[in-house]
Structure 1
Amino acid sequence: MGDLKFDVNARDSSNGPAVFVAVGHGEEELATEPHQHARGQLFGSLRGLLNVELDEGVWIVPAIHAVWIPPHHRHGGRTNGPFHGWSAYVAESACDNLPRHPCAVRTSGLLREAVLRASQWPSGVFDKQMQHVAEVILDEIRTLPVEPLGLPFPREPRLQRIARALVANPADDRDLERWAAWASVSSRTLSRRFVAETGFHFTAWRQRAKLMRSLEMLAAGMPVTAIALDLGYSTASAYIALFRRTFAETPAAYRLRLQP
């Protein structure tokens, strides 16, 4: 991902400091290939939107949120337009009482200041003052509220094929029966297993996929009405109402949070 790769290189292990932070920025849309490492990783941004994909699902990371990835979870990422972000790497030995599963959290001012302080640490040094800052970062990961930004994937291969197709094109208006036929699975099995494996009914999941894509479109500066129509909503007000129920604010208000 160029400057945004956040590559841990030789430090991709639990050796060294409990926490270290890398920062990156870029003006073009960039991506990093799926990979995994022994350290836990917290992605965050100061500007722009980051898309993080794991085997378990997709997370969208606007500037007011961060995504936690425990050690050894395969993941990749891409930016949506200009981006300035950071990534905190946590030694596996320090992850015991941190979330066991990937999740999104709302960042606090304290976490943001702590990771920016840590990003300035010289390599090879980890003194008592740095340890205090690292403990603040760990405590924030441990206690910050989890946010509903994840889009979990089903595990069953045929259902996952449907899920990935909808992520690629959330506006696809095929109904459950047509999707079931496309994937060679019965509609009853599709409905039942989607709930069992994702926690969402199929219709609710695809609405969530649309909302996740709309965050990217908001970050790109698209008008709210154009977003609603492109994603297949009957009216802009229908999109705004669903967005407000999910994120507790309007798309326009949320867009302001994506700015520097």
Structure 2
Amino acid sequence: MSISRHASATPATWREVPVPEQHLPLPWPVVARSQELAAGERFPPHVHAWNQLVFATEGVLQVTVAHARHVISPQQALWVPTGTVHHTGALGPAAFRNLYLADDAALGMPSQCVVLEVSPLLRELIVELGQVRPKDDAAYYAQLCALVTAQLRRQPQHTRHLPWPQDARLQRWCQALYDQPADARGVDAWARQLGASSRTLARQFERETGMNLRAWRTRLRLLRAIEWLAQGRSPTLIAHELGYASASAFNYMFRVETGMSPLQWRKSRAA
């Protein structure tokens, strides 16, 4: 199967769905909201007057915040602080299970976006919070809120994301590589195509993303690999689609970046 056909699994044209109506203030310190998203559905850019934990119990989400893209698979969530412009889309059918959290100094959460690992306990607390009606058992609901916020602070954090440049020319370049991650052309070839000197292009790319092309391409391939592994594709096929000469070369990159092989990563998520 060709690379172009596999790349189409990521929606070329997103279908926007309405942002849920916002009610202020939040009635509880933590409010759960559930929604089923079809592949390719995305909320348009928006902000909340509260913090948000972007999470899905099933499916892979892509969250764009400022000039960074985050690919969030199950067992991960993205912390989005109050007032942060963002938009979230589903790369495949997704069970969207996010949390809204009122501002509180006691939360102890970062003031910037960060990816959290979601423990099985936190996952079940989120699901339970979404199933309980506060008016039926206010005391129990309050206990769930306290447990959720306590667990949030205990989740491992990492800032792995794909920086996205602001310059329109660089954006076209990055989008082309995102759509076709097996494209191995270097800066010189892209400079000729984009009408710039290779030195200027490389400097501007590093200035706007904080990474050189080699490191950025590795991060891109890692996030696409996570996305595709979560969709059930085989590591051998993913290695081909990402442009690796062999499955062992892809496995080596994945192990260096995550500490486990692609199959171990998938098994850990399935468990």
After TM superposition, is the score higher than 0.5? Answer: yes
- Check whether the contact 1:48–1:258 (CA below 8 A) recurs between aligned residues: no
2:21 is matched with which residue? 9
Residue of structure 1 equivalent to 2:81: 70
Q: Is 1:33 equivalent to 2:43 in the alignment?
A: yes
The match for 1:171 is 182
> 3-state DSSP class of the match of 1:246?
helix
The TM-score with structure 2 as length reference comes to: 0.81
1:112 aligns with 2:159: no
Letter in 1 for 2:43: E
Counterpart-to-counterpart distance in 2, 1:195 and 1:95 = 37
State the Cα distance separating 1:43 from its structure 2 match.
Answer: 1.6
Seen in structure 2, the aligned counterparts of structure 1 residues 102 and 95 have a Cα distance that, compared at 3 Å, is farther
Task: Note the C-alpha offset of 1:167.
Answer: 1.8
Gaps of 5+ in 1: none
The one of 41, 57, 63 equivalent to 1:52 is 63
Q: 1:91/1:73 Cα in 2 relative to 1: closer, same or farther (>3 Å)? A: same
Q: CA, structure 1 residues 141+196, in 2 after alignment: closer, same or farther (shift >3 Å)?
A: farther
Root mean square deviation of aligned Cα: 2.7
* Greater alpha carbon shift after TM alignment, 117-126 vs 54-63: 117-126
1:251 Cα offset (Å): 0.8
SS at match of 2:185: coil
Within the candidate set 246, 254, 257, 1:243 is matched to: 254
Contact 1:6 1:22 in 2 (8 A): no
Q: Is the 8 A contact 2:81 2:112 kept in 1?
A: yes
**1:230 aligned partner:** 241
Contact in 2 for aligned 1:67/1:104 (Cα 8 Å): yes
SS at match of 2:43: strand
CA contact (8 A) 1:48 1:82 kept: yes
- Equivalent position to 1:217, from 194, 219, 228: 228
Number of residue-to-residue matches in the alignment:
254
Distance (whole Å) between structure 2 residues aligned to residue 143 and residue 180 of structure 1: 45
Q: Report deviation, 1:136.
A: 3.0
Q: What is the CA distance between 1:96 and its match in structure 2?
A: 7.1
Contact 1:80 1:219 in 2 (8 A): no
Deviation at 1:48, TM superposition (A): 2.5
Q: Which residue of 2 aligns with 1:187?
A: 198
Structure 2, unmatched stretches of 5+, are 1-16
Tell me the residue number matched to 1:101: 112
